[in-house]
Amino acid sequence: MNRGVSLPGVHSTLQNGIAHSRFSVAAEPPQRRLTAWRERVGHVIDVLPSRSDLEKPFNASIDRYELDGLAFTDCRSDAMSLDRTLARISRDSVRSFALHVFVEGEVRDVSVRSLSRAAAPFAAKVLALDMGQPVRMRRTDCRVLTLFVPAATVEEVFPDPEAIHGLAIEQAETPVARLAVEHVAALASRVGRMNAAAVQADARAGAQLLVAALGRQARLGDSGRPGARAAVFGQARRYIQAHLHRADLSPDDVIAALQLSRPTAYRLFQHEGGLGSYIRHLRLRHAADELARHPSAMVADVGYGAGFKSASDFSRAFRRAYDMSPQDFRALSRKAA
């Protein structure tokens, strides 16, 4: 799993053997603090400051702990808006899943730019993101604890781990949500005092609790047999990917090919907005990758290759999903390369 890239900061190894890095803007001149933070996180996500933001004092720091197969961060920062764009995703390899717990402050106005979930005006205490998908959000002054985990952890509850992207818990009111938040907060307070095996076990348990709480939120937590669901979902995804070029590929084709009952197909893809929505989602993800990977290919040909019936259908669907035309996305990808 790629958990990120090597970033500026003070790197050390704790007495318990855990690799640790720390970055703070406190040592920077006041007028350069927000810029320094943008440079620190800009490898992964863009900070979107207003002119007034650049003129105000800014404080932020982050501690990062590297564990076996996952990472844990403890970040304190002033308010900011953040944007991980499709263009940025197309040129990096960060594909972990981020489970955010706001022990102070909150996240607001989360937009994942998908066909099934658009901007959400809520203020949330827990937020899950797939780093392979776009997101825009606004954070208040906050302290946020984050576990970066592989897809396998999410698959324990979600048949398709990408479906967790943008799911949030506004308040930790259910027993499992409260337990998850308290567990992750306790991990942050003890991470330097426990032995490495205990930190690893607690981080893994915290991730499982958060995924379980988000699964309950998505009404997946009580459906049982997650392994069987994941296996069937994997079959469906492979079938769709193999036949994505077919403009006539339909939900009925998938149901017939895999010999699924309609109720089973409905339950399996409910969190995706339905099987038809999931097919469109895969078409658009494939097209976006092709646009970035093959800058000389005709845009219309990319759309046809992803199974769209016409260039206009492709352009409309792409704009609805990503707030820009395929041509604009390609230009942005070239500029950023």
Residues 18-50 as b/e (b if ≥16 CB within 10 A, e otherwise) read bebbebbbeeeeeeebbbbbbebbeebbebebe
Q: Tell me: the pLDDT tens digits for 297-309?
A: 999 999 999 999 9
Max Cα distance, the chain (Å): 64
Q: What token pair was written down for 318?
A: 């792409």
DSSP state letter for 155: T
Helices 262-269, 275-293: inter-axial angle, 10-degree rounding: 50
The pLDDT tens digits along the chain (337 residues) read 444 444 556 788 999 899 999 999 999 998 899 999 999 888 789 999 888 888 888 999 999 999 999 999 999 999 999 999 888 887 788 899 999 999 999 999 998 865 444 445 578 999 999 999 999 999 999 999 999 999 999 988 888 888 899 999 998 888 889 999 999 999 999 999 999 999 999 999 999 999 999 988 877 654 445 566 777 887 888 899 899 999 999 999 999 998 988 888 888 888 778 899 999 989 998 998 899 888 889 999 999 999 999 999 999 999 888 888 999 888 877 766 5
Pairing outcome for strands 120-124 and 135-139: unpaired
- Tell me the three state secondary structure of residue 15: coil
Residues 58-84 as b/e (b if ≥16 CB within 10 A, e otherwise) read bebbbbbbbbebbbbbbbbbbebbbeb
Q: What is the pTM of this model?
A: 0.77
Q: What token pair was written down for 86?
A: 């499709």
Q: Tell me: the pLDDT tens digits for 25-51?
A: 999 998 899 999 999 888 789 999 888
d(CA 60, CA 65): 17
d(CA 265, CA 251): 9
Reference 65, options 14, 24, 104; nearest CA is: 14
Rg for the chain, CA atoms, rounded: 21
